[in-house]
Amino acid sequence: MVEVNVSDFSRSLSDYEPIIGSDEVKTIMSLAERVRGAKVIHVSATPYGGGVAEILKSLVPLSRSVGLNVKWEVIVADPDFFRTTKRIHNALQGDMEIKLTEEEIHHYLEVAKKNASELDLEGDVVVIHDPQPLPIIKFVTKRSSSWVWRCHIDLANPNPSVWTILKPYVLMYDALVFTMETYVPRDVKGPKVFIRRPSIDPLSPKNKPLSPSEILRVLNRYDVDPDRPILGQVSRFDRWKDPLGVIDTFKLVKEKIPDAQLVMMGVFAYDDPEGVKWYRRTVKYAEGLKDVHILTDHDGVGDYEVNAFQRASTVIVQLSIREGFGLVVSEALWKGTPVVATRAGGIPLQIIDGVTGYLVDIRDYITAAKRVVELMKRPWLARILGSNGREHVRRNFLITRLLRDYLRMHIDLVSNVATRPQLR
């Protein structure tokens, strides 16, 4: 087990008061008081590179700032394990072709067993994120904590052969957390179910305000012209994010707006072995096309650069085929940048069509391009949708709301809080 150091992100709840108001701060503080000192352990697969890490980077220090004793640990595993868990991820998202081998299942469980013996599980609540560390629960010898499985992906229509393998572990949990009601598998009965929307941190390096000169410096560094329209996309290189569809859409946009530029940013998470393959396919697919910038963390694209590009983009697209929530949509909207995105997973929670952005059908690149062109040609429309989007995110998808939701769940799970000496 490796504990993730989040000291760079320390901040206090009062820093958020100008954004969320003093009443909300008071509500959160009074909830936090009821679980003061509770030990909460989050376990995930990777410390960077996707939505889960993005949330924990902020949620962990913020929870500490209101008096909880929170740890975040990532599992230790080898590439074979991550190849299998990527296949599990794809199968749960609906790839019906996948069938796990005996060897894969054996190794998946071996890694869980090893991590279970190395993890400090002496807490009040243990929150396991996603399928990679799911079976750890089976191998814990002493189970004094409440165990929660936080599933960030859509389980509505999983590959039955893979789901059958995972389901017994899911049923061992005290509680399950999903992003949407529709993600809860129909055949899961027993554990408590909580519905919790993900959220973004308005004060993180990814989302904090940047000055025009800071943004310009980033554009110059990557040779992107600040005087021409920019279509942006921020996503892992993954088939479910449809990177080739983004390029198809851009080609159509280019026919109407010849000086448009495309900036695709992607990160290589080490738990995603398909990232390099999809990066190469994307670069190859864009060959010969002018004004396409495909950038990764290997080019120095980190939180700050993503922040700058999300602000500099004229329009952001997210054309996912499957999507758990799609934090990148809220990130762009928070910056007042209009978004055109597919009706996939949690995206419609964030985009109210025609009000906070535009929704298009999955793989409908013609409509996606039409909407992008419309927004590029009508700055007044882009401004209205962007500002509605920002307000929608402020009300619904900020980290402080997630903290409040987690506190409520902890209160629910940590029974007899008042009588537990270690909590005071």
Q: Does 267 bind ligand UDP (CB under 6 A)?
A: yes
Decide: is 43 part of the binding site for ligand UDP (CB under 6 A): no
CA distance 273 to 79: 8
Does residue 327 belong to the site contacting ligand UDP (CB under 6 A)? yes
Residue 275 token pair: 């990232």
Q: Which of 47, 50, 61, 245 binds ligand UDP (CB under 6 A)?
A: 50
Q: Quick one: 80 or 303, whose CB is closer to ligand UDP? A: 303
Least distance to ligand UDP from the beta carbon of 207, Å? 9
Q: Which is nearer to ligand UDP, 243 or 266 (CB)?
A: 266
**266 versus 386: smaller Cβ distance to ligand UDP:** 266
One symbol per residue from 219 to 238: x for binding ligand UDP (CB under 6 A), - otherwise; what is it? Answer: ---------------xxx--
Exactly one of 51, 185, 338, 389 binds ligand UDP (CB under 6 A); which one?
A: 51
Under 8 Å between Cβ of 297 and 275: no
Nearer to ligand UDP, 25 or 397 (CB): 397
Smallest gap from Cβ 250 to ligand UDP, in A, equals 17
Shortest reach from residue 49's CB to ligand UDP, in Å: 7
85 vs 235 by CB, closer to ligand UDP: 235
Draw the binding track, 91-110, toward ligand UDP (x: CB under 6 A; -: no contact): --------------------
Q: Report the residue number, 71 or 236, with the smaller CB distance to ligand UDP.
A: 236
Q: From 51, 122, 49, select the one nearest 82 (Cα to Cα).
A: 49
Provide the minimum distance between the beta carbon of 388 and ligand UDP in the complex, in angstroms, as a whole number. 20
328 binds ligand UDP (CB under 6 A): yes
3-state secondary structure 315-336: EEEECCCCCCCCHHHHHHHHCC
Asked if 265 is part of the footprint of ligand UDP (rule: CB under 6 A), the reply reads yes
Q: What part of residues 189-208 is at the interface with ligand UDP (CB under 6 A)?
A: 206
Restricting to residues 330-369, name those near ligand UDP by CB under 6 A.
331
Dihedral (Cα; 159, 173, 141, 113), 10-degree rounding: 20
The residue number whose beta carbon is nearest to ligand UDP equals 51
Considering the complex, state which of residue 185 and residue 326 has its C-beta at the smaller distance from ligand UDP: 326
Among 133, 135, 326, 345, binds ligand UDP (CB under 6 A): 326
| Site membership for ligand UDP, residue 54 (CB under 6 A) | yes
State the nearest-atom distance from the C-beta of 93 to ligand UDP, in Å: 10
Chain residues that interact with ligand UDP, rule: CB under 6 A = 50-51, 54, 206, 234-236, 265-267, 301, 303, 306, 324-328, 331
